[in-house]
Structure 1
Amino acid sequence: MKRSNQNNLNFSSQKLSIIEGKALQQVPNAPKCLLEILQRAALTNKELVYVQPSGEEKTQSYQDLLLEAQQILAGLRKLGLNLGDKVILQINHAQDFIPAFWGCILGGFVPVPISIAPTYTQQNNTVQKLHNAWQMLEQPVILTNIELAAQICSLSKLLHLDNWQVETVEGLKDNQPDLQIHQSQPDDLAVLLLTSGSTGMPKGVMLSHRNLLSMSRGTVQMNGFDSSSVTLNWMPLDHVGAISFLGIMAVDLGCQQIHVPTNLILKNPLRWLDLIERHRATISWAPNFAFSLINERLREIQQSNWDLSSMVFLVNAGEQIVAKTARKFLKLLGQHGLASTAIHPAFGMSETCSGITWSDGFSLETISDDTSFVELGQPIPGASLRIVDENNQILTKGLIGKLQFKGASVTSGYYQNPEYNRKSFTEGGWFETGDLGYLDDDGRLVITGRNKDNIIINGINYYSHEIESVIEEIEEIDISYTAACAVKKTDSQGDQLAIFLSTSITEQDSLQQLLKQVRKTVVSKVGINPRYIIPVSKENIPKTAIGKIQRSQLSKRFEAGEFDSIIASIKSSNKASGSIILKTETEAQITQIWQELLGLEEVGLKDNFFELGGHSLLLVQAQAELEQRFDKQISVADMFIHSNVEALAKYLSEDRSKEGTPPEGQQRAKIRQQQRGASGQVEIAVIGMSCRFPGADNIEQFWQNLQNGVSSISFFSEEDIRESGIDPKVLQNPNYVMASPIISNTEHFDANFFGCSAKEAELMDPQQRLMLECAWESLEDAGYNPLTYSGAIGIYAGASMNTYLLNNIYPNRHRLDSHDDLRQISLDSMGGFQMMVDNDKDYLTTKVSYKLNLRGPSVNVQTACSTSLVAIDIASKSLLNGECDMCLAGGVSVQVPQKSGHLYQEGMIVSPDGYCRAFDAAAQGTIFGSGGGLVVLKRLEDALRDRDRVYAVIKGSAINNDGGMKVGYAAPQGEGQASAVSEAITIAGIDPETIDYVEAHGTGTILGDPVEVGALTKAFQGWTNKKQYCGIGSVKSNVGHLQIASGVAGFIKTVLALHKKRLPQSLHYEKPNPKIEFANSPFYVCKTLSEWKSNGSLRRAGVNSLGIGGTNAHVILEEAPEQVVESQKSEPKSS
């Protein structure tokens, strides 16, 4: 690599601060658009290397990249995109991002990369940026990958949005390559990059094909790069350096590229050096703080043995460069072959397509630790710079003024923002960078600070007046006397945020509380944690004659030490308060780590890491520090869940000697075992069952459908939908899915048999009617007549939301009472009271108890989707407690009208085609429908004594709730799920290796299935590391999601499988969801019907059910013991 002479430039005057860069070399037949450089690279044998979060590597040739981009192009065109349409990229892995980026380029679509949010379940800066950009760009398609799709889709609900269209790279790649590639013109818009906006609305930097290629060629011409170069990028994928300098330029060169997840390096910065050596990388980039992170690993650097001699161009840019930091880095790594001239300071921004000046003047020999401002070199060929005063008059060299650029790599402006364009460009076309600087004696650029009101910390832009405005929303703050400034301490590695404010509060405790409130407000609303919050008098806030705060004066006074006494006083007050009492050494160590990372004097035990100012960078650093200090593996997900000191300390203190064992579940099981007393009886017999499931009016039909692999989803005609009273307009929506799982004869009911009048039957919720029918049939199946049985029969069950009431009864409420038209529902009238007892959930089980003379406990259960399995758990415990002699348990769900479809919306949990593809890569959601089921339970020893037919045996069960330590109320949480499974296994007293099958909740959602399988795996691995010995399936693939009745549907399926000794298949499964690691789990998906072999032990299974809101249930089943069964009588037994 040969570098051209930087000093061979055109100076308009040797004394004026203006430099016109060399002309760009004209190369014959040079590509004129980005498409052409990718086509050219595809002719080479060079590759892209994608390092995975696990550290593994995948490679892709340029030819394969072009092919994959063409597949994505085909998918984008199928979506109906037109030339010039914007596509927001929300993609967190380079192997997905880069083909998606180029797929847009090939079609003349404009990629708009946006940073990945730390979480999509609540409002934060990145989510707001995404929302604002989506609005600004007129609601474009959002392209992501499967890993993030469900979370990003959920934003439509969080933000109350329509037309929120989310597509996945994986889905678009499932197309034949589109060979019709659009030939863009040089000045066509190629990429739109978003920068922070002072109003909260991002600014769209427009970069053309000419801009990006000019940056690439000017940089190559200046620095002598060629196809033998090897670029290594670990910056975020939406960063201009990752896209332009280490992306497009690498394609233009046709050289090898290495792409590394940002968090992999932040977690262990030395991995950067490992990868430089491994791939013999020659070019890479990092902001100043990354060099600091490596400098802190002194002992490891000294003990390592890298060969870093290949690295010749290590860019230091993106924030203020600290000479002492860079020199220390070079000294430490010089022993590993890194040249003393390897670091190259640079200046660039999104508006200049990344770097527009590059320096070769930084070395150990030429720069000292005391250098205040590091020179950033001279402009690339094709670009010019100048330093001007407030009137845009060029200054003489050495004088500080405004930095401006002009050239082929400089943006033409901001997307649909004429006002900001006027502010940003002079009449002569010079671009205002917002930076202050000067040219040194050698004509090299030196940056001294910012002229605009934005602050750059860790490479992120923040606007002063945005920070000030959120602070002044606090009542006790004096308006117009708040200043947010970038400051630097002599021992600091870069700029820090200092807040100066005025308040009338003087009492110390009250002042401390106010400062805490200010910090929390800035963190939550702006996303940055102030390093200093300094209360001063109004007189100490300098203003101009027209009242504008002079922030630069405050910064200078701060750096001169003028406010040190105030800072010391605040620290002293914090320590004096002494309100934090640390109970354990673990809490003390975590607190210390957080204080150091967050720059805080005080951290409360229950203070949320993110509310204290933590962000993704600090989170990864905290993760690495915690793993090193406690010698334990901690995932980022763990830190999201356990996000305060107290919770994290408890988590780290748990004994996880058996990986995956949830201690809480085991502990709960032991307590229950102790409370059972001497008898120790836990086994419950299933002696009767009944059901109304889609496609099956009884148990026999249900089993036939299961073993024949029947999908019982009904698909409707438009006429069906109209006859159901659905608005015909909905049929015009292409996303309306005319399908649902339905049951037969919901409008039929033998009122006389159950002692109901015709009017009562008509008014009664079909769910109550169905519950009555199933109750009688299940007892009949068990061989008992409830009307004559002398013992106590209990019932535990639940029902779904009553849509019959909403759609049928309420609109006709005037017919209920001739004395009251019930315009407003009232329980005072006879009609209102009757409507209540026949339709409210509260009366579901007691209606059955009344009609069938059941004298045991009668309890309505409501835990959302897990209701009916929770009812089975509670009924089992009721039997063991001696509260009844037999017990019915289950649930019912009837949608009215049944023949109605659903509107598919990306991000919601319903399927786009009416099928539930549990565990499959193509899974996109579930489908809700109607059904009901009840089982009859009895203590096993009593059932054997009474010679009852036993279908199967409940060995143990458990229920719990996820609690509040998860990202959202409706979100799944693996810890809670695993704990319930572990507790049930422990109660059952079995080895999970003897469990042959698990009936999963298995909704077929992108996120839900991986979390559930992960939780099951974690629970099982508390006992065994055996792989793929246990089948898994979901009845939802057959009958859909029966809501409240879904748990009992899975339970009955599994009981029948044990009884018949056959394992039914789980339908619609072809290829595993890539987020489920079946190979490293105990599970395999049951793809075909198979004989259930005993393998030398009793057949056993688990049934899992999970409810929105976090209530989890798990039941362990075992095949029935050998028994002599009394022949069935024509009349049920009375006792």
Structure 2
Amino acid sequence: MTELRQWLVERLARLCATEADRIDVDRPFREYGLTSRNLVALSGQLAQFLGRAVAPTIIWEHPTVRRLTDHLDGTAQPASKLRHGEAATTVRPGETADRALAVVGIGCRLPGGISTPDGLWEFLRAGGDAVRRVPEDRWEAYRLASPAHATVLDRTTQFGGFLDDIDGFDAEFFGISPAESAEMDPQQRMFLEVAWESLEHAGIPADTLAGSRTGVFVGASGDDFARRRMEDLQGINGWSLPGTTLSVIANRLSYVLDLCGPSLTVDTACSSSLVALHLAAQSLLTGESELAIVGGVNVLLSPGGTVYADQASASSPTGRCRPFDADADGIVRGEGCVSVVLKRYGDAVRDGDRVLSLVRATAMNQDGRSNGLTAPSPAAQEALLAQVYASAGIPSTAVAYVEAHGTGTRLGDPIEAGALGNVLGRDRPQAAPLLIGSVKSNLGHLEAAAGLVGLVKNILALHHGRIPPTLHYTRPNPAIELTGLGMEVVSRLTEWPAGDGERVAGVSSFGIGGTNAHAVLSDLPRPVRP
């Protein structure tokens, strides 16, 4: 065993109060029960032992003793190739147009009273901030449940991106009885309305889709309503199960509109809606669907998720999401719904649709056994980025802006920034850095709907030729070498960088269980081969 490996094994054994011979060099550090704070401290001690600086995220990049020491000894293969494979083969000239998808409609219901795409753009352009205190009656039932519950709530984070109205619903419009409507998860109600509005925005009458191969793909993971409703055993009735089941969020739209394409709700936590987009893209490209409605929805009916985030030291105690900033101190949860309507680009041209932007490529992967189930993997993020841009046939220097996952956490931001910089930021002209930002600073983290909110922000930015500011950014996180990575955070309304070709943007999402997704957008329609 090398001196470095021996030192690391002994240091880890002391931290875990165990014997050195009980340390498995192939077991992730996090599985020894160490906190993120412990591991960041360990990276600092490692720097002292080596007599040189090491990144505080190095333990997440190489999450076992063997992989870390192999890396530091210079004997390891690049992690992204070793564990996640080579990037996908670049598409051949002419193929990109055949695989491009057109976004033809948008619907949204978001914090800050936002209910239209134009309203969202004006809000983002002006640097709007929709984070506020929890509505007074939102969690009152939990407070009244017991003095113990009230005590927990008193010390729970009180900030978030909350909607003004989650109860309003025109059940009669959708042919739903009052009795059934009362048993429906607000996420079902909201998605029905927002999906309908996205079809209106696309100029597609909903009643013309009956019997069509229209697919519905929705990202959702919150089950607050179901947990509360199904605990009332005496109140369960014939509408309770379909009203509370996540799968029915997608299925109900298919039922109401008589759609015959795939219909599914996707749950990969915070990457859910971008994974739903990826599945919709595959369905369109294979001909399984001729039209796709893609959505994401999240409602914060219970304080449970916030209590968890607090206990995991993930919440911002100041109630502000500060992506990539030196004062970033955690996430701020949010709620809302977004829907987009997609077609194959050639079909959109044939049908005379207004094309808002193109989806050039999508991809998803998994972290595998990273440094803990909920810990991000830098290698997986880099591999995903390399794969999706190779698939799109777009060189890294052509990407002007990436709407990052950007949660404003001390660990997640440096890992994501490092992956973006290593794949898309390096080797760029100093005057043309990769621009990055995050809509979570405006609305909070919409969890299962977050990826699609970022997608819509990019669509609007491409259309208007300007990138909205990321709020609360004043100075870079010292763990992120933005200049060295060839990147810059957009902190004010910024004109889209000038260039000779199309405008290209990306959007990333990462799920707490390790499922990652990325989408590539552009503004210019590509020629379609006859």
3-state DSSP of counterpart to 2:517: strand
Q: Is 1:1109 matched with 2:529?
A: no
Q: CA shift at 1:917, angstroms?
A: 0.8
Partner of 1:1012 in structure 2?
416
Partner of 2:63 in structure 1?
640
Q: Is 1:1036 matched with 2:454?
A: no
After superposition, give the CA deviation of every residue in 1:881-928 in whole Å (9 maximum; x if it has no partner): 111111011211112158997587475211112111111111110011
* Distance in 2 of aligned mates of 1:1082 and 1:165: 28
Partner of 2:244 in structure 1?
839
Partner of 2:107 in structure 1?
690
* Distance in 2 of aligned mates of 1:1077 and 1:683: 34
Partner of 1:261 in structure 2?
48
Contact 1:891 1:932 in 2 (8 A): yes
* Distance in 1 of aligned mates of 2:499 and 2:9: 47
Partner of 1:778 in structure 2?
198
3-state DSSP of counterpart to 1:1076: coil
Q: CA shift at 1:639, angstroms?
A: 5.0
* Distance in 1 of aligned mates of 2:272 and 2:155: 30
Q: CA shift at 1:665, angstroms?
A: 7.0
3-state DSSP of counterpart to 2:174: coil
1:914 alignment partner AA: G
Contact 1:920 1:1069 in 2 (8 A): yes
* Distance in 2 of aligned mates of 1:119 and 1:687: 59
3-state DSSP of counterpart to 1:261: helix
3-state DSSP of counterpart to 2:241: helix
* Distance in 2 of aligned mates of 1:949 and 1:939: 13
After superposition, give the CA deviation of every residue in 1:477-528 in whole Å (9 maximum; x if it has no partner): xxxxxxxxxxxxxxxxxxxxxxxxxxxxxxxxxxxxxxxxxxxxxxxxxxxx
* Distance in 2 of aligned mates of 1:1078 and 1:709: 23
Give the RMSD, CA atoms, in angstroms. Answer: 3.8
* Distance in 2 of aligned mates of 1:921 and 1:1019: 23
* Distance in 2 of aligned mates of 1:945 and 1:904: 48
Partner of 2:127 in structure 1?
709
Q: Is 1:768 matched with 2:188?
A: yes
* Distance in 2 of aligned mates of 1:816 and 1:735: 33
Query: Could you tell which deviates more after superposition, 884-893 or 1036-1045?
Result: 884-893
Partner of 2:345 in structure 1?
940
Unpaired segments of 5 or more residues in structure 2?
A: 1-6, 19-27
Query: Paired residue for 2:266, among 829, 846, 861?
Result: 861
Partner of 1:127 in structure 2?
16
* Distance in 1 of aligned mates of 2:252 and 2:154: 43
Q: CA shift at 1:1096, angstroms?
A: 2.1
* Distance in 1 of aligned mates of 2:522 and 2:304: 38
Q: Is 1:970 matched with 2:380?
A: no
Where in structure 2 are the equivalents of 1:609-688 lying within 5 Å? 639-641=62-64, 643=66, 667=86, 669-670=88-89, 673=91, 681-688=98-105
Partner of 1:739 in structure 2?
159
Contact 1:958 1:1114 in 2 (8 A): yes
* Distance in 1 of aligned mates of 2:168 and 2:345: 36
After superposition, give the CA deviation of every residue in 1:613-635 in whole Å (9 maximum; x if it has no partner): xxxxxxx9xxxxxxxxxxxxxx7
* Distance in 1 of aligned mates of 2:45 and 2:290: 64
After superposition, give the CA deviation of every residue in 1:1071-1094 in whole Å (9 maximum; x if it has no partner): 111111101112100010122243
Query: Paired residue for 1:1070, among 434, 456, 474?
Result: 474
Partner of 2:485 in structure 1?
1081
2:206 alignment partner AA: P
2:160 alignment partner AA: S
Partner of 2:257 in structure 1?
852
2:225 alignment partner AA: Y
* Distance in 2 of aligned mates of 1:942 and 1:1085: 37
* Distance in 2 of aligned mates of 1:1042 and 1:849: 24
Q: Is 1:792 matched with 2:197?
A: no
Aligned CA distance change for structure 1 residues 990 and 732 (closer, same or farther; 3 Å): closer
Q: CA shift at 1:844, angstroms?
A: 2.1
* Distance in 2 of aligned mates of 1:165 and 1:1076: 17
Higher helix share: 2
* Distance in 2 of aligned mates of 1:644 and 1:1073: 26
Contact 2:320 2:331 in 1 (8 A): yes
1:736 alignment partner AA: T
* Distance in 1 of aligned mates of 2:141 and 2:331: 22
Unpaired segments of 5 or more residues in structure 1?
A: 1-115, 130-150, 170-235, 239-259, 268-619, 621-634, 818-830, 1124-1135
Q: CA shift at 1:721, angstroms?
A: 6.5
Q: CA shift at 1:972, angstroms?
A: 0.4
Contact 1:738 1:902 in 2 (8 A): no
Aligned CA distance change for structure 1 residues 795 and 839 (closer, same or farther; 3 Å): same
Contact 1:724 1:900 in 2 (8 A): no
* Distance in 1 of aligned mates of 2:284 and 2:424: 28
Aligned CA distance change for structure 1 residues 663 and 700 (closer, same or farther; 3 Å): farther
Higher relative contact order (CA 8 A, sep 6+): 2
1:1041 alignment partner AA: H
Contact 1:898 1:930 in 2 (8 A): no
Where in structure 2 are the equivalents of 1:496-507 lying within 5 Å? none
Length, aligned pairs only? 497
3-state DSSP of counterpart to 2:88: helix
Query: Paired residue for 2:291, among 882, 886, 889?
Result: 886
3-state DSSP of counterpart to 1:955: strand
1:688 alignment partner AA: G
Query: Paired residue for 2:393, among 989, 1012, 1037?
Result: 989
Q: Is 1:920 matched with 2:325?
A: yes
Where in structure 2 are the equivalents of 1:259-658 lying within 5 Å? 261-264=48-51, 639-641=62-64, 643=66
Aligned CA distance change for structure 1 residues 722 and 780 (closer, same or farther; 3 Å): closer
* Distance in 2 of aligned mates of 1:755 and 1:117: 65
Q: CA shift at 1:698, angstroms?
A: 2.3
* Distance in 2 of aligned mates of 1:1014 and 1:776: 39
* Distance in 1 of aligned mates of 2:208 and 2:10: 59
Q: CA shift at 1:732, angstroms?
A: 8.2
* Percent of matched pairs sharing the same residue: 35
After superposition, give the CA deviation of every residue in 1:240-268 in whole Å (9 maximum; x if it has no partner): xxxxxxxxxxxxxxxxxxxx811338x9x
1:1046 alignment partner AA: A
Contact 1:917 1:1068 in 2 (8 A): yes
* Distance in 1 of aligned mates of 2:172 and 2:524: 37
* Distance in 2 of aligned mates of 1:887 and 1:690: 14
After superposition, give the CA deviation of every residue in 1:970-1012 in whole Å (9 maximum; x if it has no partner): 1000010111111111111112212111000001000000000
After superposition, give the CA deviation of every residue in 1:621-657 in whole Å (9 maximum; x if it has no partner): xxxxxxxxxxxxxx77665358479x99xx9685x6x
TM-score by length of 1: 0.40
* Distance in 2 of aligned mates of 1:1066 and 1:928: 16
Q: Is 1:959 matched with 2:378?
A: no
* Distance in 2 of aligned mates of 1:641 and 1:683: 40
3-state DSSP of counterpart to 1:796: strand
Contact 1:685 1:937 in 2 (8 A): yes
3-state DSSP of counterpart to 2:512: coil
TM-score by length of 2: 0.83
3-state DSSP of counterpart to 1:681: helix
* Distance in 1 of aligned mates of 2:176 and 2:368: 43
Q: CA shift at 1:1058, angstroms?
A: 0.6
Q: CA shift at 1:953, angstroms?
A: 0.6
* Distance in 1 of aligned mates of 2:81 and 2:414: 18
Q: Is 1:1024 matched with 2:431?
A: no
* Distance in 2 of aligned mates of 1:637 and 1:804: 35
Contact 2:67 2:76 in 1 (8 A): no
After superposition, give the CA deviation of every residue in 1:586-613 in whole Å (9 maximum; x if it has no partner): xxxxxxxxxxxxxxxxxxxxxxxxxxxx
Contact 2:60 2:371 in 1 (8 A): no
